[in-house]
Structure 1
Amino acid sequence: MSIPTAHPFDFDPTYGMRLGELLAIEPPEEPEGFDAFWEARYRKALMVDPRPVLSRSELTHPDWHVLDLVYFSTDAFKIGGWLLLPREGQVKRGLVVGHGYGGRDQPDFNLPVEDTAVIFPCCRGLSLSRHPPISENPSWHVLHDIDKPNSYIIGGCVEDIWLAVSTLAALYPWLSGHIGYSGISFGGGVGAMAIAYDERIDRGHLALPSFGHQPLRLKLPSVGSAQSVQEYQAEHGNVLETLRFYDAATAARRIEVPMLTAVALFDPSVAPPCQFAVANSIPKYNEIFILDAGHFDYPGSAEQEAALRDKIGQFFRMP
């Protein structure tokens, strides 16, 4: 292990916790009505016709056909993104790929998957799905309607993932039951909530998942969107009422499909105890991959990322 020791932060991004302590973290107490809250949202999302529109993209790649994609999510929200189709082989699987809180300006062409139709959606308010007055700045986006538990923007982002699955199923009906999800950071946290209630997703990969163990997330010093939420809480004092319903660790307890979760021992943006709360909560079929650090460059990062990429390729090749 080469956990960073030199860093510019005025707090310790390991929070003084070693691997054994991190693996012992449990999810927080969950609010009454958590399942009813999400099941109702999922039923509503299933009733939406995504009406996907595909067009030839200006982007090109030797291994992939690249198509620009627009589909409709809940509340008639127009979602932009890309669809990749393999130039060789047949489309036998589907994959939805979430993004971090920085959004996405193009697909990831280096995904280690074959025979797969891959959708890269931009969640509402971000990148190709920008929609003023929603801010594209993560520190403001994460606060959008945070005072309204039923309309907090993170819930809409989960619905955008469900509608990406609906889009794949509409375009390629034979992929039903063979659709996976992969997401990092913001996309990891949103993905945990999406997978927990969408039985159409048959396996998932979450890396450095955000939104885990919200009570801890409000307390542990962080940078980025978590810091923004902490500052809002310090001023208003009422944010946990909403956040308890948007807890990736609570949702992860409901996941019943094979999972590969990558979590870090050092991370200034998504506190490791919050990441591990998500990974530890998945009840079965979960392989945990340990990274020395997340959201931070460190010696050996390229080797660890390469090893994780190989794992991801093997994971999504399974039937």
Structure 2
Amino acid sequence: MSHFCHAYTFDPTYGYTLDRLLRVGAPDIPDDFAAFWDARYRRTLTVSPQPRLSRWPEGREGFTVYDLEYRSTDDFIIGGWLLLPQDRPVRRGMVVGHGYGGRDAPDFDLPVADTAFLFPCFRGLSRSRRPPISEEPYWHVLHDIDKRDRYILGGCVEDLWLAVSALLELCPETVGHVGYTGISFGGGIGALALPWDVRVRRAHLNMPTFGHHPLRLELPTVGSGRAIRDYQQKHGNVLDTLRYYDAASAAAYTEIPVQVAAALFDPVVAPPGQFAVHNALAGPKSLYVLEAGHVDYPARARQDAELRDILADFFEAL
């Protein structure tokens, strides 16, 4: 059991040591996995995002902030924000993905300077709400899960690709210098999106979810994985879809430099799934080990500061 005191009915380390986590492999990958995603990416890039900006009413030192809308697949309007550095040239661009709680505002404590930051809200969440998609993670992650080509996670990946398109249209000077950073849900969506989009050159995945679904189905959580476990117990066919939406499988096709932060203790995104994503990455990779994820813990502030410094150096090369 973990050395953290907790009230969960399960051990959020799942009995894995760091050494064992570093040996978690990827699941079996469908033969047409790459073809499925590459075709989807090519179709998505035929969509013009038509980004629209309006000034955000709240000022923020160091940034000019805009409310943003752009068009995604299925004629879905995605809301978010664009941050531009004040009185400094834009040298690079960054798309920033959010966790399953969505986001109410952009982040401003950002480790990378001279950067245009685009913060999309993935479909169904926060500024991109649209019935009948539920904002509740339990139900959002199940939306159209019985339809491989319509599953909600695929639409969210397309939202990310078109966020890159919107960023390049709004800030053409970022061509060749685009990065991605995403946490939890955003980390998993990023992992699924990265292999196919050559426009993204570096990425950070923080506690990425959706890694190694067959293993996730064996591990109790309080996160979206619980909904998938419940669905599997009732219907028994969830892997027919999820084998095409596995972040660890996608990582095996990812050749750009990726920095991963993965947790040893996490009741929301089981650590073996997080490490499965890191372990499967095919290109240059680095790992920062978090003592815990999705909970407060004594070393959190120190680890957050250390990771911020790591990311500043990592994205400086973008």
- TMscore range, shorter length: over 0.9
| C-alpha contact 1:196 1:256 (8 A) present in aligned 2 | yes
Q: Tell me, which stretches of 5 or more residues in structure 1 are unaligned?
A: none
* Aligned twin of 2:147: 148
Q: 1:109 and 1:7 mapped to 2: Cα distance?
A: 32
| C-alpha contact 1:4 1:293 (8 A) present in aligned 2 | no
Q: 1:155 and 1:170 mapped to 2: Cα distance?
A: 23
* Aligned twin of 1:245: 244
3-state SS of 1:35 partner: helix
Written as runs of structure 1 = structure 2, the 5 A alignment for 1:167-206 is 167-206=166-205
| C-alpha contact 2:90 2:173 (8 A) present in aligned 1 | no
Q: 1:235 and 1:286 mapped to 2: Cα distance?
A: 38
Q: 1:135 and 1:289 mapped to 2: Cα distance?
A: 33
What residue identity is the alignment partner of 1:256? E
1:35 aligns with 2:27: no
3-state SS of 1:245 partner: coil
* Aligned twin of 2:316: 317
Task: Measure how far apart 1:59 and its partner are.
Answer: 2.5
Q: 1:124 and 1:295 mapped to 2: Cα distance?
A: 22
3-state SS of 1:119 partner: strand
What residue identity is the alignment partner of 2:101? G
| C-alpha contact 2:188 2:209 (8 A) present in aligned 1 | yes
Q: 2:216 and 2:285 mapped to 1: Cα distance?
A: 23
Identity of aligned residues (%): 58
Task: Measure how far apart 1:173 and its partner are.
Answer: 1.9
* Aligned twin of 1:13: 12
* Aligned twin of 1:88: 87
* Aligned twin of 1:217: 216
| C-alpha contact 1:4 1:266 (8 A) present in aligned 2 | no
CA-atom RMSD, angstroms? 0.8
What residue identity is the alignment partner of 1:157? C
Q: 2:227 and 2:83 mapped to 1: Cα distance?
A: 34
| C-alpha contact 2:99 2:183 (8 A) present in aligned 1 | yes
* Aligned twin of 2:281: 282
Which of structure 1's runs of 4+ aligned residues deviate more than 2 A?
A: none
What residue identity is the alignment partner of 1:72? R
Q: Tell me, which stretches of 5 or more residues in structure 2 are unaligned?
A: none
What residue identity is the alignment partner of 2:285? N
* Aligned twin of 1:269: 268
Scaled by the length of structure 2, what TM-score is found? Answer: 0.98
3-state SS of 1:80 partner: strand
Task: Measure how far apart 1:318 and its partner are.
Answer: 1.1
| C-alpha contact 1:112 1:310 (8 A) present in aligned 2 | yes
| C-alpha contact 1:264 1:272 (8 A) present in aligned 2 | yes
Q: 2:58 and 2:147 mapped to 1: Cα distance?
A: 39
Scaled by the length of structure 1, what TM-score is found? Answer: 0.98
Task: Measure how far apart 1:4 and its partner are.
Answer: 4.5
